[in-house]
Structure 1
Amino acid sequence: MTPTAYLATVRHVRTTPLQHDFTYRTVTWAIPLDGRDPNSGIPWWQRTFIRFRASDHLGDSGDWRDNIVAFAATHDLDASSWHIVALSGAATAGYAFDPLTLYWCTDPTGDPVAVIAEVRNTYGQRHAYLLRPDSKGVARAEKRFYVSPFNDVSGSYTMSVPPPDRSGFDVRVTLHRPGERPFVATWRGIRPRSLSDRVRLALHLPLAAQVVTVRIRLQGIRLWARRLPIHPRPDHSEELT
Protein backbone atom coordinates (compact mmCIF):
# COMPACT_ATOMS: atom_id res chain seq x y z
CA MET A 1 0.00 0.00 0.00
CA THR A 2 1.22 3.51 -0.85
CA PRO A 3 -0.17 6.86 0.37
CA THR A 4 -3.63 7.45 -1.05
CA ALA A 5 -4.94 10.98 -1.66
CA TYR A 6 -8.59 11.89 -1.09
CA LEU A 7 -10.47 15.05 -1.98
CA ALA A 8 -11.91 15.84 1.45
CA THR A 9 -14.69 18.02 2.80
CA VAL A 10 -14.69 19.24 6.40
CA ARG A 11 -17.79 20.70 8.01
CA HIS A 12 -18.12 22.31 11.46
CA VAL A 13 -21.60 22.89 12.91
CA ARG A 14 -22.18 24.82 16.16
CA THR A 15 -25.66 24.77 17.66
CA THR A 16 -25.21 26.65 20.95
CA PRO A 17 -24.87 29.32 22.30
CA LEU A 18 -25.23 30.46 18.69
CA GLN A 19 -25.66 28.66 15.39
CA HIS A 20 -22.74 28.63 12.98
CA ASP A 21 -21.92 26.36 10.08
CA PHE A 22 -18.93 26.34 7.73
CA THR A 23 -17.43 23.93 5.22
CA TYR A 24 -14.12 23.76 3.40
CA ARG A 25 -12.32 21.48 0.97
CA THR A 26 -8.84 20.06 1.49
CA VAL A 27 -6.65 17.09 0.63
CA THR A 28 -6.36 14.15 3.05
CA TRP A 29 -4.04 11.16 2.80
CA ALA A 30 -4.24 7.58 4.03
CA ILE A 31 -0.64 6.66 4.84
CA PRO A 32 0.59 3.15 5.74
CA LEU A 33 3.08 3.29 8.61
CA ASP A 34 4.86 0.05 7.79
CA GLY A 35 8.47 1.00 8.47
CA ARG A 36 9.19 2.42 5.03
CA ASP A 37 9.57 6.11 4.31
CA PRO A 38 5.99 7.21 3.48
CA ASN A 39 7.37 9.92 1.21
CA SER A 40 8.70 7.26 -1.15
CA GLY A 41 5.12 6.53 -2.20
CA ILE A 42 4.26 10.10 -3.18
CA PRO A 43 4.05 10.64 -6.96
CA TRP A 44 7.28 12.22 -8.19
CA TRP A 45 5.61 15.42 -9.40
CA GLN A 46 4.21 16.10 -5.91
CA ARG A 47 7.41 15.58 -3.93
CA THR A 48 8.62 19.16 -4.36
CA PHE A 49 5.80 20.49 -2.17
CA ILE A 50 4.36 17.49 -0.26
CA ARG A 51 6.06 15.81 2.73
CA PHE A 52 5.08 13.53 5.60
CA ARG A 53 7.10 14.23 8.75
CA ALA A 54 7.08 12.51 12.15
CA SER A 55 7.84 15.86 13.79
CA ASP A 56 4.40 17.13 12.78
CA HIS A 57 2.75 14.51 14.98
CA LEU A 58 2.91 13.09 18.48
CA GLY A 59 6.07 11.72 20.02
CA ASP A 60 9.78 12.49 20.15
CA SER A 61 11.29 9.99 17.73
CA GLY A 62 12.21 10.80 14.16
CA ASP A 63 10.23 7.77 13.03
CA TRP A 64 6.45 8.21 12.77
CA ARG A 65 5.63 4.55 13.36
CA ASP A 66 7.96 4.32 16.37
CA ASN A 67 6.08 7.21 17.97
CA ILE A 68 2.75 5.38 17.64
CA VAL A 69 4.29 2.23 19.09
CA ALA A 70 5.60 4.30 22.01
CA PHE A 71 2.17 5.83 22.59
CA ALA A 72 0.54 2.40 22.62
CA ALA A 73 3.09 1.27 25.21
CA THR A 74 1.85 4.00 27.60
CA HIS A 75 -1.43 2.06 27.53
CA ASP A 76 0.32 -1.30 28.11
CA LEU A 77 -0.14 -2.34 24.49
CA ASP A 78 2.57 -3.93 22.35
CA ALA A 79 2.11 -2.37 18.91
CA SER A 80 5.37 -3.58 17.43
CA SER A 81 3.58 -5.99 15.06
CA TRP A 82 0.52 -3.88 14.36
CA HIS A 83 -0.51 -2.74 10.92
CA ILE A 84 -1.05 1.02 11.24
CA VAL A 85 -2.70 3.36 8.73
CA ALA A 86 -2.77 7.12 9.37
CA LEU A 87 -5.37 9.52 7.99
CA SER A 88 -3.82 12.96 7.85
CA GLY A 89 -2.88 15.98 5.85
CA ALA A 90 0.66 16.48 4.58
CA ALA A 91 3.17 19.25 5.14
CA THR A 92 2.80 21.56 2.15
CA ALA A 93 5.58 23.97 1.20
CA GLY A 94 7.23 23.10 4.52
CA TYR A 95 4.21 23.89 6.72
CA ALA A 96 1.89 21.42 8.48
CA PHE A 97 -1.32 21.78 10.44
CA ASP A 98 -3.60 18.80 11.03
CA PRO A 99 -6.57 19.46 13.33
CA LEU A 100 -7.20 15.71 13.50
CA THR A 101 -5.05 12.73 12.58
CA LEU A 102 -6.46 9.23 12.97
CA TYR A 103 -4.54 5.97 13.22
CA TRP A 104 -6.25 2.64 12.57
CA CYS A 105 -4.39 -0.19 14.26
CA THR A 106 -4.91 -3.87 13.49
CA ASP A 107 -3.10 -6.98 14.69
CA PRO A 108 -1.19 -9.32 12.33
CA THR A 109 -4.39 -11.30 11.63
CA GLY A 110 -6.21 -8.15 10.51
CA ASP A 111 -8.43 -7.80 13.58
CA PRO A 112 -8.92 -4.20 14.79
CA VAL A 113 -7.15 -3.35 18.04
CA ALA A 114 -7.62 0.39 18.51
CA VAL A 115 -7.96 3.77 16.85
CA ILE A 116 -5.78 6.65 18.00
CA ALA A 117 -7.19 10.15 17.57
CA GLU A 118 -4.51 12.86 17.62
CA VAL A 119 -6.01 16.34 17.99
CA ARG A 120 -4.11 19.57 17.41
CA ASN A 121 -5.10 23.16 18.14
CA THR A 122 -3.89 26.43 16.63
CA TYR A 123 -1.76 27.14 19.75
CA GLY A 124 0.79 24.44 18.88
CA GLN A 125 -0.58 21.91 21.38
CA ARG A 126 -1.73 18.37 20.69
CA HIS A 127 -3.42 15.53 22.52
CA ALA A 128 -3.99 11.87 21.66
CA TYR A 129 -6.95 9.68 22.62
CA LEU A 130 -6.82 5.88 22.54
CA LEU A 131 -10.21 4.70 21.26
CA ARG A 132 -11.85 1.29 21.28
CA PRO A 133 -14.56 1.51 18.61
CA ASP A 134 -17.46 -0.92 18.62
CA SER A 135 -18.43 -3.11 15.67
CA LYS A 136 -19.96 -0.08 13.94
CA GLY A 137 -16.77 1.97 14.28
CA VAL A 138 -18.13 4.21 17.05
CA ALA A 139 -16.15 5.13 20.17
CA ARG A 140 -16.64 7.47 23.12
CA ALA A 141 -14.12 9.54 25.06
CA GLU A 142 -14.16 12.24 27.70
CA LYS A 143 -12.94 15.57 26.35
CA ARG A 144 -9.46 16.30 27.75
CA PHE A 145 -8.10 18.96 25.42
CA TYR A 146 -8.76 22.62 24.62
CA VAL A 147 -9.34 22.75 20.88
CA SER A 148 -11.22 26.00 20.32
CA PRO A 149 -11.30 29.22 22.37
CA PHE A 150 -15.09 29.04 22.09
CA ASN A 151 -15.38 25.67 23.86
CA ASP A 152 -13.97 24.70 27.26
CA VAL A 153 -12.79 21.17 28.05
CA SER A 154 -16.06 19.92 29.53
CA GLY A 155 -18.17 17.21 27.90
CA SER A 156 -17.52 14.02 26.00
CA TYR A 157 -17.11 12.94 22.40
CA THR A 158 -18.78 10.37 20.25
CA MET A 159 -16.47 9.55 17.36
CA SER A 160 -17.60 7.57 14.34
CA VAL A 161 -14.34 6.34 12.83
CA PRO A 162 -14.84 3.50 10.33
CA PRO A 163 -11.57 2.81 8.49
CA PRO A 164 -10.92 4.40 5.10
CA ASP A 165 -11.01 2.32 1.97
CA ARG A 166 -10.14 2.78 -1.67
CA SER A 167 -13.33 4.71 -2.37
CA GLY A 168 -13.21 7.11 0.57
CA PHE A 169 -13.77 7.72 4.28
CA ASP A 170 -16.47 9.17 6.52
CA VAL A 171 -15.61 10.46 10.02
CA ARG A 172 -17.91 12.24 12.46
CA VAL A 173 -17.06 13.79 15.84
CA THR A 174 -19.88 14.98 18.13
CA LEU A 175 -19.39 16.89 21.37
CA HIS A 176 -21.94 16.07 24.05
CA ARG A 177 -22.92 18.04 27.12
CA PRO A 178 -25.97 17.45 29.34
CA GLY A 179 -29.05 17.98 27.19
CA GLU A 180 -27.20 19.29 24.15
CA ARG A 181 -24.79 18.61 21.30
CA PRO A 182 -23.06 21.99 20.87
CA PHE A 183 -20.60 20.96 18.17
CA VAL A 184 -20.46 18.41 15.35
CA ALA A 185 -17.59 17.99 12.89
CA THR A 186 -17.67 15.79 9.81
CA TRP A 187 -14.67 14.85 7.70
CA ARG A 188 -15.43 13.03 4.47
CA GLY A 189 -13.23 12.12 1.56
CA ILE A 190 -13.53 10.54 -1.87
CA ARG A 191 -11.00 9.17 -4.30
CA PRO A 192 -11.05 11.51 -7.29
CA ARG A 193 -12.47 9.70 -10.29
CA SER A 194 -13.79 12.36 -12.63
CA LEU A 195 -11.63 14.92 -14.38
CA SER A 196 -13.17 17.74 -12.34
CA ASP A 197 -12.32 15.93 -9.07
CA ARG A 198 -8.73 15.42 -10.20
CA VAL A 199 -8.44 19.10 -11.07
CA ARG A 200 -9.81 20.11 -7.63
CA LEU A 201 -7.34 17.78 -5.93
CA ALA A 202 -4.42 19.18 -7.92
CA LEU A 203 -5.43 22.76 -7.09
CA HIS A 204 -5.64 22.04 -3.36
CA LEU A 205 -2.39 20.06 -3.08
CA PRO A 206 0.38 22.71 -3.04
CA LEU A 207 -0.87 24.82 -0.09
CA ALA A 208 -3.48 22.62 1.58
CA ALA A 209 -2.13 23.05 5.14
CA GLN A 210 -1.83 26.82 4.81
CA VAL A 211 -5.36 27.16 3.46
CA VAL A 212 -6.83 25.07 6.31
CA THR A 213 -5.14 27.28 8.91
CA VAL A 214 -6.33 30.50 7.28
CA ARG A 215 -9.90 29.27 7.01
CA ILE A 216 -10.01 28.17 10.65
CA ARG A 217 -8.63 31.50 11.84
CA LEU A 218 -11.08 33.46 9.69
CA GLN A 219 -13.98 31.50 11.15
CA GLY A 220 -12.64 32.25 14.63
CA ILE A 221 -12.67 35.96 13.83
CA ARG A 222 -16.25 35.69 12.62
CA LEU A 223 -17.32 33.95 15.84
CA TRP A 224 -15.49 36.54 17.94
CA ALA A 225 -17.21 39.32 15.99
CA ARG A 226 -20.55 37.71 16.83
CA ARG A 227 -19.57 37.99 20.52
CA LEU A 228 -19.30 34.27 21.18
CA PRO A 229 -17.71 34.01 24.66
CA ILE A 230 -14.04 33.03 24.81
CA HIS A 231 -12.91 30.47 27.38
CA PRO A 232 -9.43 30.75 28.94
CA ARG A 233 -6.95 28.16 27.68
CA PRO A 234 -5.68 25.85 30.44
CA ASP A 235 -2.11 24.55 30.55
CA HIS A 236 -1.60 21.35 28.61
CA SER A 237 1.84 19.84 28.86
CA GLU A 238 1.01 16.13 28.43
CA GLU A 239 0.08 14.93 24.95
CA LEU A 240 0.31 11.15 25.33
CA THR A 241 -2.74 10.30 27.46
Structure 2
Amino acid sequence: MTLRSCLYRGSVMHRRLRPTTHRFRYRAFWLLLDLDEMPLLASRLRLFSHNRFNLFALHDADHGDGSATPLRLQAEGCLMQAGIDIAGGPIRVFCMPRTLGYSFNPLSIYFCHRHDGQLAAIIYQVHNTFGERHAYVASVAADTGTIRHDCDKAFYVSPFLNMDMSYHFRLNQPDEHFALGISASAGGATVLGACLTATRHELSNQALLYNFVAIPLVTIKVILAIHWEALRLWLKGLRLRGRPQRSPHTITTVPPSPQHRIDSHAL
Protein backbone atom coordinates (compact mmCIF):
# COMPACT_ATOMS: atom_id res chain seq x y z
CA MET A 1 0.00 0.00 0.00
CA THR A 2 1.38 3.40 -1.02
CA LEU A 3 1.33 5.94 1.77
CA ARG A 4 -0.44 9.23 1.24
CA SER A 5 1.44 10.66 4.22
CA CYS A 6 4.77 12.29 3.41
CA LEU A 7 7.49 14.65 4.62
CA TYR A 8 8.16 18.24 3.56
CA ARG A 9 11.47 20.03 4.02
CA GLY A 10 11.95 23.74 3.48
CA SER A 11 12.06 27.06 5.30
CA VAL A 12 9.97 29.74 6.98
CA MET A 13 10.49 33.47 6.54
CA HIS A 14 8.96 36.25 8.65
CA ARG A 15 9.14 39.93 7.76
CA ARG A 16 7.77 42.79 9.85
CA LEU A 17 7.19 46.08 8.00
CA ARG A 18 5.99 48.44 10.74
CA PRO A 19 6.44 50.14 13.12
CA THR A 20 9.98 48.85 12.64
CA THR A 21 11.45 46.43 10.11
CA HIS A 22 12.56 42.98 11.16
CA ARG A 23 13.23 39.84 9.17
CA PHE A 24 14.36 36.27 9.81
CA ARG A 25 14.38 32.88 8.10
CA TYR A 26 14.98 29.36 9.41
CA ARG A 27 15.01 25.86 8.00
CA ALA A 28 12.46 23.32 9.17
CA PHE A 29 10.58 20.20 8.15
CA TRP A 30 7.01 19.06 8.53
CA LEU A 31 4.93 15.92 8.13
CA LEU A 32 1.72 15.70 6.13
CA LEU A 33 -0.12 12.92 7.95
CA ASP A 34 -3.25 11.21 6.69
CA LEU A 35 -5.16 10.61 9.93
CA ASP A 36 -6.57 7.32 8.60
CA GLU A 37 -3.01 6.04 8.12
CA MET A 38 -1.84 6.52 11.69
CA PRO A 39 -1.92 2.81 12.67
CA LEU A 40 -0.11 1.87 9.45
CA LEU A 41 2.53 4.57 9.92
CA ALA A 42 3.21 3.51 13.49
CA SER A 43 3.69 -0.11 12.39
CA ARG A 44 5.87 0.67 9.35
CA LEU A 45 8.15 3.34 10.81
CA ARG A 46 10.58 2.53 13.60
CA LEU A 47 11.31 6.22 14.24
CA PHE A 48 7.71 7.45 14.35
CA SER A 49 4.87 6.63 16.76
CA HIS A 50 1.32 7.69 17.45
CA ASN A 51 0.59 8.73 21.05
CA ARG A 52 3.80 7.03 22.21
CA PHE A 53 7.35 8.23 22.83
CA ASN A 54 9.76 7.94 19.92
CA LEU A 55 12.31 10.02 18.07
CA PHE A 56 9.30 11.54 16.26
CA ALA A 57 5.63 11.20 17.11
CA LEU A 58 2.17 12.62 16.67
CA HIS A 59 0.24 12.97 19.93
CA ASP A 60 -3.42 13.85 19.56
CA ALA A 61 -3.17 16.05 22.67
CA ASP A 62 -0.58 18.26 20.93
CA HIS A 63 -3.31 19.43 18.55
CA GLY A 64 -7.05 19.99 18.57
CA ASP A 65 -8.44 20.86 21.98
CA GLY A 66 -5.57 19.26 23.87
CA SER A 67 -7.52 16.16 24.84
CA ALA A 68 -6.87 12.53 23.92
CA THR A 69 -9.87 12.56 21.56
CA PRO A 70 -8.73 11.29 18.15
CA LEU A 71 -7.83 14.17 15.87
CA ARG A 72 -10.15 13.00 13.13
CA LEU A 73 -13.16 13.28 15.46
CA GLN A 74 -12.00 16.71 16.61
CA ALA A 75 -11.53 17.96 13.04
CA GLU A 76 -14.96 16.64 12.04
CA GLY A 77 -16.43 18.46 15.04
CA CYS A 78 -14.86 21.73 13.88
CA LEU A 79 -16.21 21.20 10.39
CA MET A 80 -19.68 20.44 11.75
CA GLN A 81 -19.71 23.72 13.68
CA ALA A 82 -18.91 25.48 10.41
CA GLY A 83 -21.66 23.60 8.57
CA ILE A 84 -19.25 21.53 6.46
CA ASP A 85 -19.79 17.79 5.92
CA ILE A 86 -17.03 15.76 4.25
CA ALA A 87 -18.93 12.47 4.73
CA GLY A 88 -15.91 10.55 6.01
CA GLY A 89 -13.45 11.79 3.42
CA PRO A 90 -9.71 11.90 4.17
CA ILE A 91 -8.23 14.46 6.54
CA ARG A 92 -4.51 15.25 6.40
CA VAL A 93 -2.71 17.40 8.94
CA PHE A 94 0.41 19.40 8.08
CA CYS A 95 2.50 19.94 11.20
CA MET A 96 5.87 19.53 12.87
CA PRO A 97 6.21 16.20 14.65
CA ARG A 98 6.80 15.88 18.37
CA THR A 99 10.58 15.42 18.65
CA LEU A 100 12.10 13.47 21.55
CA GLY A 101 8.98 14.15 23.58
CA TYR A 102 8.69 17.89 22.87
CA SER A 103 6.11 19.50 20.62
CA PHE A 104 5.27 23.04 19.57
CA ASN A 105 3.52 24.03 16.36
CA PRO A 106 2.85 27.71 15.69
CA LEU A 107 0.41 26.53 13.02
CA SER A 108 -1.16 23.17 12.17
CA ILE A 109 -3.13 22.93 8.93
CA TYR A 110 -5.84 20.34 8.31
CA PHE A 111 -6.72 19.60 4.69
CA CYS A 112 -10.22 18.09 4.73
CA HIS A 113 -11.36 16.23 1.62
CA ARG A 114 -14.59 14.73 0.38
CA HIS A 115 -14.75 11.05 -0.62
CA ASP A 116 -13.97 11.91 -4.23
CA GLY A 117 -10.70 13.57 -3.15
CA GLN A 118 -11.97 17.11 -3.68
CA LEU A 119 -10.67 19.52 -1.04
CA ALA A 120 -13.68 20.77 0.92
CA ALA A 121 -12.21 22.78 3.78
CA ILE A 122 -9.07 23.87 5.58
CA ILE A 123 -8.63 24.24 9.32
CA TYR A 124 -5.88 26.62 10.37
CA GLN A 125 -5.09 25.89 14.01
CA VAL A 126 -2.91 28.55 15.63
CA HIS A 127 -0.94 27.83 18.82
CA ASN A 128 0.52 30.52 21.06
CA THR A 129 3.31 30.20 23.62
CA PHE A 130 0.81 30.39 26.51
CA GLY A 131 -0.56 26.93 25.78
CA GLU A 132 -3.68 28.22 24.03
CA ARG A 133 -5.09 27.25 20.62
CA HIS A 134 -7.61 28.58 18.17
CA ALA A 135 -8.98 27.11 14.94
CA TYR A 136 -10.02 29.11 11.88
CA VAL A 137 -12.29 26.87 9.75
CA ALA A 138 -12.63 27.80 6.09
CA SER A 139 -14.50 26.18 3.22
CA VAL A 140 -12.79 25.78 -0.15
CA ALA A 141 -14.44 26.40 -3.51
CA ALA A 142 -14.62 23.60 -6.05
CA ASP A 143 -11.94 25.27 -8.15
CA THR A 144 -8.91 24.62 -5.94
CA GLY A 145 -5.99 26.35 -7.55
CA THR A 146 -4.11 28.63 -5.22
CA ILE A 147 -6.44 29.21 -2.28
CA ARG A 148 -7.12 32.44 -0.44
CA HIS A 149 -8.86 33.05 2.87
CA ASP A 150 -9.29 36.34 4.74
CA CYS A 151 -10.53 36.74 8.30
CA ASP A 152 -10.35 39.00 11.33
CA LYS A 153 -7.84 38.11 14.01
CA ALA A 154 -9.61 36.35 16.89
CA PHE A 155 -6.73 34.96 18.95
CA TYR A 156 -3.83 36.45 20.88
CA VAL A 157 -0.49 35.24 19.49
CA SER A 158 2.35 37.76 19.49
CA PRO A 159 2.67 40.16 22.46
CA PHE A 160 3.91 42.78 19.97
CA LEU A 161 0.73 42.81 17.87
CA ASN A 162 -2.68 44.34 18.54
CA MET A 163 -5.87 42.31 18.27
CA ASP A 164 -7.64 44.63 15.80
CA MET A 165 -6.00 43.10 12.74
CA SER A 166 -6.92 40.92 9.77
CA TYR A 167 -5.24 37.77 8.46
CA HIS A 168 -4.82 36.87 4.80
CA PHE A 169 -3.97 33.23 4.04
CA ARG A 170 -2.88 32.02 0.62
CA LEU A 171 -1.64 28.54 -0.18
CA ASN A 172 -1.75 25.64 -2.61
CA GLN A 173 -2.74 22.07 -1.93
CA PRO A 174 0.36 20.08 -0.89
CA ASP A 175 1.87 18.33 -3.91
CA GLU A 176 5.49 18.10 -5.00
CA HIS A 177 5.84 21.59 -3.56
CA PHE A 178 3.89 23.42 -0.88
CA ALA A 179 3.75 27.16 -0.31
CA LEU A 180 1.89 29.10 2.33
CA GLY A 181 1.77 32.85 2.68
CA ILE A 182 0.21 34.69 5.63
CA SER A 183 0.02 38.43 6.03
CA ALA A 184 -1.46 40.49 8.85
CA SER A 185 -2.83 43.97 8.26
CA ALA A 186 -4.23 46.81 10.32
CA GLY A 187 -6.08 49.80 8.95
CA GLY A 188 -5.52 48.55 5.42
CA ALA A 189 -1.72 48.47 5.78
CA THR A 190 0.32 45.28 5.94
CA VAL A 191 2.12 44.94 9.27
CA LEU A 192 3.91 41.65 8.72
CA GLY A 193 4.11 38.69 6.39
CA ALA A 194 5.24 35.10 6.70
CA CYS A 195 6.02 32.61 3.97
CA LEU A 196 6.57 28.85 4.18
CA THR A 197 8.00 26.96 1.20
CA ALA A 198 8.73 23.24 1.19
CA THR A 199 9.42 20.28 -1.08
CA ARG A 200 7.84 16.84 -0.74
CA HIS A 201 9.87 13.76 0.27
CA GLU A 202 8.95 10.17 1.01
CA LEU A 203 8.13 9.47 4.65
CA SER A 204 10.57 6.75 5.64
CA ASN A 205 12.92 5.86 8.48
CA GLN A 206 15.85 7.06 6.39
CA ALA A 207 14.19 10.41 5.69
CA LEU A 208 13.30 10.91 9.35
CA LEU A 209 16.83 10.14 10.46
CA TYR A 210 18.31 12.43 7.81
CA ASN A 211 16.12 15.33 8.91
CA PHE A 212 16.89 14.72 12.57
CA VAL A 213 20.59 15.12 11.76
CA ALA A 214 20.21 17.95 9.22
CA ILE A 215 17.68 19.97 11.23
CA PRO A 216 18.07 18.68 14.81
CA LEU A 217 15.43 19.18 17.51
CA VAL A 218 13.21 21.12 15.14
CA THR A 219 10.37 21.85 17.60
CA ILE A 220 12.81 23.05 20.27
CA LYS A 221 14.52 25.17 17.63
CA VAL A 222 11.19 26.82 16.81
CA ILE A 223 10.29 27.77 20.39
CA LEU A 224 13.82 29.09 21.01
CA ALA A 225 13.66 31.11 17.78
CA ILE A 226 10.33 32.65 18.82
CA HIS A 227 11.79 33.91 22.11
CA TRP A 228 15.06 35.05 20.50
CA GLU A 229 13.24 37.08 17.85
CA ALA A 230 10.96 38.54 20.54
CA LEU A 231 14.04 39.75 22.41
CA ARG A 232 15.40 41.31 19.22
CA LEU A 233 12.09 43.13 18.65
CA TRP A 234 12.11 44.41 22.22
CA LEU A 235 15.67 45.69 21.78
CA LYS A 236 14.49 47.50 18.64
CA GLY A 237 12.04 49.44 20.78
CA LEU A 238 8.78 47.49 20.41
CA ARG A 239 6.84 47.17 23.64
CA LEU A 240 4.43 44.49 24.80
CA ARG A 241 0.70 44.78 24.23
CA GLY A 242 -1.62 43.81 27.04
CA ARG A 243 -2.87 40.25 26.87
CA PRO A 244 -6.69 40.24 26.54
CA GLN A 245 -8.94 38.00 28.56
CA ARG A 246 -9.11 34.56 27.00
CA SER A 247 -12.16 34.11 24.80
CA PRO A 248 -14.39 31.08 25.47
CA HIS A 249 -14.66 30.58 21.70
CA THR A 250 -11.90 28.40 20.27
CA ILE A 251 -13.26 28.12 16.72
CA THR A 252 -13.84 30.86 14.15
CA THR A 253 -15.73 30.14 10.93
CA VAL A 254 -14.06 32.02 8.10
CA PRO A 255 -16.52 33.60 5.66
CA PRO A 256 -16.12 32.60 2.00
CA SER A 257 -13.63 34.80 0.19
CA PRO A 258 -14.79 36.69 -2.91
CA GLN A 259 -12.20 34.70 -4.86
CA HIS A 260 -10.21 31.57 -4.03
CA ARG A 261 -7.73 31.77 -6.90
CA ILE A 262 -4.89 34.26 -6.86
CA ASP A 263 -1.70 34.70 -8.81
CA SER A 264 0.72 32.01 -7.71
CA HIS A 265 3.54 34.57 -7.83
CA ALA A 266 1.99 36.16 -4.74
CA LEU A 267 3.17 33.16 -2.78
TM-score, normalised to structure 1's length?
0.89
**Corresponding residue SS for 1:44:** coil
- Alpha-carbon distance in structure 1 between the residues aligned to 2:162 and 2:190: 14
1:164 paired residue number: 174
Match of 2:62 among 51, 56, 60: 56
- Tell me the C-alpha RMSD between the 2 structures: 2.2
Q: What is the SS of the residue equivalent to 1:17?
A: coil
| Residue of structure 2 aligned with 1:6, choices 8, 25, 28 | 8
Q: In structure 2, what is the Cα distance between the partners aligned to 1:201 and 1:32?
A: 20
1:90-239 map, 5 Å? 90-134=97-141, 135=143, 136-165=146-175, 167-191=176-200, 201-204=211-214, 206-236=216-246, 237-239=248-250
User: Residue 72 of structure 2 aligns with which residue?
Assistant: 65
Kindly provide the amino acid, as one letter, of the partner of residue 238 in structure 1. H
1:24 alignment partner, one of 23, 26, 33: 26
Instruction: Tell whether the 8 Å contact from 1:101 to 1:119 is kept in structure 2 after alignment.
Output: yes
Determine if contact 1:39/1:52 at 8 Å carries over to the other structure: no
Aligned positions, number: 236
Structure 1 residues 32-41 or 203-212, which shifts more? 32-41
Aligned-pair CA distance for 1:192: 5.2
For 1:39-81, what per-residue CA distance to the aligned partner results, in whole angstroms no more than 9, with x for missing partners? 5166324553100011001133431111111111222333451
2: CA distance between counterparts of 1:140 and 1:119? 15
**Contact 2:34–2:92 (CA under 8 A) maintained in structure 1:** yes
Give, as a single letter, the amino acid of the residue that structure 2 aligns with 1:30.
Answer: L
Gaps of 5+ in 2: 253-267
Q: Which moved more, 1:134-143 or 1:95-104?
A: 134-143
Which has the larger displacement, 79-88 or 212-221? 79-88
**Structure 1, unaligned runs of 5 or more:** none
Contact 1:53 1:91 in 2 (8 A): yes
